[in-house]
Amino acid sequence: MHINRDYITMLCSLVKIGELEETEKLLTEWELSCDRHDFRVPNALLIGYCEKGMIENAEEMLRDIVKRGKTPIPDSWYIIAAAYLDKDNMEKAFECMKEALAMIVMHAISSMQFRNMVNSLFQKHGLLKDEILRNHVPLFEVSEWMRNSDLQFSVGDRAVQLNLIGRVRGLEAAESYFNSLSDEDKIDKIYGSLLNCYVREGLVDKSVSHMQKMKEMGFATRAINYNDLMCLYKSSGQFEKVPEVLSDMKKNGISPDSFTYRICMKAYAERSDLSSVESILQEMKSQPNITMDWISYSAVANIYIKAGLKEKALIYLKKCEEKISKDAVGYNHLISHYASLGNKDEMMRLWGLQKTECKKHINRDYITMMGSLVKIGELEETEKLLTEWESSCHRYDFRVPNVLLIGYCQKGMIENAEELLRDIVKRGKTPVPNSWSIIAAGYLDKDNMEKAFECMREALAVQAENKIWRPKSSLISSILNWVRDNRNVDEVEAFEKSLKNVIPENKEM
């Protein structure tokens, strides 16, 4: 007879060759014969669905199993949460992570597993980056839920939590959390997280003072702490102080990492000191602990592109390409750089190479390539690429057509943009509000307030598709002023009411 291990192997093999229908049949066969519901078996099909972009099918299947009285393991919900996160559906990702947490508590499993789940999501999707995290508050709520439950936090977890509190709730809340910790819990990582909060807020004096305290306590032992200060000086325009931090690192026996050198090169570039850029690059290449990667060569190429030195840029773009090796993100960076140089031939060559090396193009790749084509004015090629994407996509991600909508509007072809979006709607797709907002802004630029108002109403009507969407205040202000001057009281009140969902409570309309 076949045991669970055999079914898992066969199911995974069928998934690998894309035979989901056969996988479904085999799962049914297993369910009819199994004595105990081992969720590792259906998890194989959940993974298969998610890899094909059929996340709704995966969730429907798991909820059906639950209805039949089975209790999933946390991993089952995590598989689906991660897939929703890949699709940028934060609401569903949050919902599934809560289900995973409920299973952790129900099964009385060690909190380590759930911590690893949350942390892996943060790291994989770069959610510890400011501009991204602020749009993904639900994941912070998951972390908060975890902290307030019976799960035990390690000191390392508290460092992550402190960082998240600072990013989502602000500096005062972060300092309050820091002060609530015992002295023994305030290790180097906790101090480092608070330093990161000060840096993010642009508080130079406070950051320098805190860093000095870390040095006195023996906590400033990692490159990341010095990198934070470098970023602060760079963002505040104090470029001359960045190399000073590098010197301080060396004096204190801290080995610079790749990020350290890249920040330093960018600071020199801001001062148009390209000879120092080259010197830092050579020093970086000589370090035994640093492996030169495509990211570093991409950064140098970008410096020369901005400086208008095309030939120098091309040298480093070639070095960058040599280091990519099946990295789709690397190809996207290269394509963007060649777009900045207006080199369509190289863009198309790399697009084809990316597909060959990385097996397939995903939404992110189409967004990059289409954005690059728009940048060089190739709208016809962008239209072709959108058609190609539509013929192969499993889920309609409006970030992709939005690239072409922006391209049309930048060229003053706002009617084309509206026609494209309305055609997509006719095909049964529900846009995200930003799609309509793009066109509203286009009409505003043309002083066609009637159409701008119409499109903004369309955006507000689909706001439920992206509850964290916030339109630009200047766009809302211009349209609202026009509405108040040109529409009757009922229309004004209706429009103002619809705006309450997208305008922060502390802002006046």
Report the distance separating Cα 209 and Cα 430, nearest Å. Answer: 51
**Burial of 489 by CB count in 10 Å (0-12 exposed, 13-18 middle, 19+ buried)?**
exposed
* Size (the chain), residues: 509
Write down the pLDDT at residue 148.
54
Residues 6+ apart with CB under 8 A from 332: 354, 364, 365, 368, 369
- Name which of 192, 187, 177 is nearest 228 in CA terms: 192
Q: C-alpha distances in angstroms, 272 versus 13, 227, 242?
A: 56, 21, 14
Whole-number pLDDT of residue 155:
61
DSSP 504: -
Other C-beta atoms within 10 Å of 479: how many? 24
Alpha helices in 376-468 (DSSP H): 379-392, 399-410, 414-426, 433-445, 449-461
CA atoms within 13 A on the CB side of 115: 18
Q: How many CA atoms lie within 13 A of 359 on its CB side?
A: 0
Q: Which of 267, 254, 332 is nearest to 295 (CA)?
A: 332
Give, in order, the Cα–Cα distances in Å from 480 to each of 461, 466, 488: 16, 21, 13
Kindly give, in sequence order, each residue whose CB lies less than 8 Å from that of residue 422, ignoring residues fewer than 6 positions away: none
d(CA 126, CA 103): 26
What is the domain class of 396-508 according to CATH?
mainly alpha
- HSE of 485 in the Cβ direction (CA atoms, 13 Å)? 8
Looking at residue 90, its pLDDT comes to 72
Q: What's the rounded Cα separation, in Å, for the pair 479 and 152?
A: 50
Mean pLDDT by 10 residues, the chain (509 residues): 82 86 87 83 92 88 86 86 78 78 55 50 44 45 54 64 78 92 90 93 96 96 94 96 97 95 97 98 96 95 98 98 91 97 98 91 93 98 97 89 98 98 95 96 97 96 81 94 94 92 65
Tell me what pLDDT residue 308 has.
97
What pLDDT does residue 104 have?
A: 61
Domain spanning 1-105, CATH architecture? Alpha Horseshoe (1.25)
Q: What tokens does 482 get?
A: 């026009």
State if pTM tops 0.85. no
Question: 159-194: string of b/e by CB count within 10 Å (b at 16+)?
Answer: bbbbbbbbbbeebeebbebbeeeeeeebbbbbbbbb
Contact at 8 Å (CB) between 431 and 425?
yes
Tell me the CA distances in angstroms from 127 to 31, 119, 288, one per residue in order.
38, 9, 31
Residue from 291, 288, 233 nearest 266 by CA: 233
Residue 367 CA to residue 493 CA, distance in Å, equals 38
Residue 237 in tokens: 């325009």
CB-based burial label for 212 (10 Å; 0-12, 13-18, 19+): exposed
Q: From residue 492, give the alpha-carbon distance in Å to each of 80, 152, 231, 328, 498.
A: 42, 52, 45, 48, 10
Reduce the DSSP state of residue 296 to 3 states and report it: helix
Q: Are 363 and 396 in contact (CB under 8 A)?
A: no
| Residue-level pLDDT at 124 | 46
Closest among 58, 36, 48 to 10, alpha carbons compared = 48
Distances (CA, A) of 319 to 261, 296, 306, 313, 356: 17, 10, 18, 10, 20
Whose tokens are 């597909």? That residue is 355
**Model pLDDT, residue 51:** 86
pLDDT at 503 (0 to 100): 80
